[in-house]
């Protein structure tokens, strides 16, 4: 059993921490919002600050939205760094800048502590089902120490490389996810506008080469119009900003990533920042003046 601190108990963090508790670990929790009563009721300890978490824990896990939040948690007033002593391990499971991650890791290492960046993919479904993909950057020795905790939260767990490489892998993941959401949205929109049943089209495609988790899960969301997050558009916008700013620094072009970001921007302009990222299809629907599932026919299109 380990003493594990967990900072950030939102849509993702709450079930992830729950799996650690079910695995027999002693939890110390902190968030700026009210802590989950079910975890406290099962023995987790509420802490007064990030520093308090670090003082009481041997391993500190951070799961917050963006780079500035991680920086504040680690190095702000009463932050994690203020409560660390030699030998402790900090694991950032947020999705943030790879460049800043390397700087954060160096600062933690200067305190004789270890640092892993371990962003995740799989969304709320993966967090609840303990099936997350976890992409890790850091020392192999440190990874091996934390691997039993990762095993409680995920299924596909990979040490990608050194600090920052986990975050780079997550950015790559988010590029693929965004482009695939866009492709599924276009396909189902085309099918619906042509008069076919988009639900049946999706079912047929699930048996072929076009099959994917995005088609399975988000395709169903598009057909059923269930766009409650999930993974919010504003968070995917943040990830694509990391991709596009990184591309500029590397002098490469990511044209389709930029297109997906513009579609997310269109959703945000229509008060959709909090929609699930599968709702990117709504921007395509606005361009087509047609909603998936709306009655249509090819004859009407051709007239």
Q: Report the length, in residues, of the chain.
A: 303
Q: 77 and 57 in contact (C-beta within 8 Å)?
A: no
Q: What Cα–Cα distance (Å) separates residue 163 from each residue in 16, 63, 132, 135?
A: 22, 17, 20, 11
Which residue shows structure tokens 């950015």?
Answer: 171
HSE of 155, CA atoms in CB hemisphere, 13 A: 9
Pair type for strands 26-30 and 3-7:
parallel
Helices (H) and strands (E) in the chain, counts: 16, 9
Pair type for strands 45-46 and 120-121:
unpaired
Q: 23 and 49 in contact (C-beta within 8 Å)?
A: no
* Per-position DSSP letters for 13-42, written without gaps between them: HHHHHHHHHHTT-EEEEE-SSPPPHHHHHT
Q: 204 and 210 in contact (C-beta within 8 Å)?
A: no
Residues designated catalytic:
170
CA–centroid distance for 292 within its chain: 26
Which residue shows structure tokens 């190095």?
Answer: 75
Give the Cα separation of 103 and 82 in Å (integer): 17
Give the Cα separation of 10 and 33 in Å (integer): 9
Give the Cα separation of 127 and 113 in Å (integer): 27
CB atoms within 10 A of CB 107: 15
């Amino acid at each position: 059993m380990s003493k594990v601190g967990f900072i950030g108990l939102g849509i993702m963090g709450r079930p992830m921490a729950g799996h650690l508790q079910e695995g027999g670990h002693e939890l110390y929790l902190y968030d700026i919002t009210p802590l989950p009563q079910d975890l406290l009721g099962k023995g987790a300890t509420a802490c007064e600050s990030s520093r308090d978490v670090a003082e009481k824990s041997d391993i500190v896990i951070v799961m917050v939205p963006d780079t500035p939040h991680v920086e504040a948690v680690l190095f702000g007033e009463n932050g994690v760094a203020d409560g660390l002593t030699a030998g402790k391990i900090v694991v950032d499971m947020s999705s943030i800048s790879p460049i800043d991650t390397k700087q954060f890791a160096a600062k933690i290492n200067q305190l004789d502590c270890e640092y892993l960046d371990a962003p995740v993919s799989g969304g709320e479904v993966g967090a609840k089902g303990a099936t997350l993909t976890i992409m890790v950057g850091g020392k192999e020795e440190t990874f091996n120490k934390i691997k039993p905790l990762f095993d409680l939260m995920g299924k596909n767990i990979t040490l990608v490389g050194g600090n920052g490489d986990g975050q780079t892998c997550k950015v790559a993941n988010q590029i693929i996810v965004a482009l695939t959401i866009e492709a599924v949205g276009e396909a189902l929109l085309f099918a619906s506008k042509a008069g076919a049943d988009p639900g049946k089209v999706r079912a047929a495609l699930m048996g072929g080469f076009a099959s994917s988790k995005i088609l399975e899960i988000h395709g169903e969301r598009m057909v059923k119009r269930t766009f409650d997050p999930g993974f919010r558009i504003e968070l995917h916008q943040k990830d694509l900003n990391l991709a596009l700013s990184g591309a500029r620094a590397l002098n490469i072009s990511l044209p389709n990533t930029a297109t997906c970001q513009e579609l997310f921007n269109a959703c945000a302009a229509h008060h959709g920042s909090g929609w699930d990222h599968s709702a990117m299809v709504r921007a395509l629907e606005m361009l087509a003046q047609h909603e998936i599932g709306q009655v249509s026919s090819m004859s009407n299109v051709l007239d």
